[in-house]
Amino acid sequence: MTKLAEDAVPTYSYACTQCDNRFDIVQSFSDESLTVCPECSGKLRKLFNSVGIVFKGSGFYRTDSRGGASTASEPAKSDNGKSDNGSSSSTSSDASSSTGSSSTASTAVAS
């Protein structure tokens, strides 16, 4: 371990429930939590602060989840979808031609 990692100890924040005294103290992981306020001898509670988290790598974005993976692959397919759209439009015209009367209407519109 490096010297810095050996010397690193966390800083804890405490607040008194009676006088609302707030302070920070550097304590080792093995030290007992403080329970008595140094100013009024009231009960202390440990405060927990938010931590800045940075997610790096794959799997943390909306497009990387299971539901997002199919969404992410759709834009890639949309490039190929230009040719697919042509075939799907013929498929839709095939479907409309099977209905009979709508194929006549689509043929009239196409003309």
Q: For the chain, what are the domain ranges?
A: 3-47
- pLDDT tens figures, 77-98: 445 545 444 444 444 444 444 4
Taking CB atoms within 8 Å and a gap of at least 24, the contacts of 14-21 are 14/44, 14/45, 14/46, 14/47, 15/44, 15/45, 15/47, 16/40, 16/42, 16/43, 16/44, 16/45, 17/42, 17/43, 17/44, 17/45, 18/42, 18/43
Architecture of domain 3-47: Single Sheet (2.20)
- pLDDT tens figures, 10-21: 899 999 999 999
* Residues 6 or more apart whose Cβ sits within 8 Å of residue 6: none
pLDDT computed for residue 24 by the predictor: 94
> What is the per-residue burial (b if ≥16 Cβ within 10 Å, else e) of 79-93?
eeeeeeeeeeeeeee
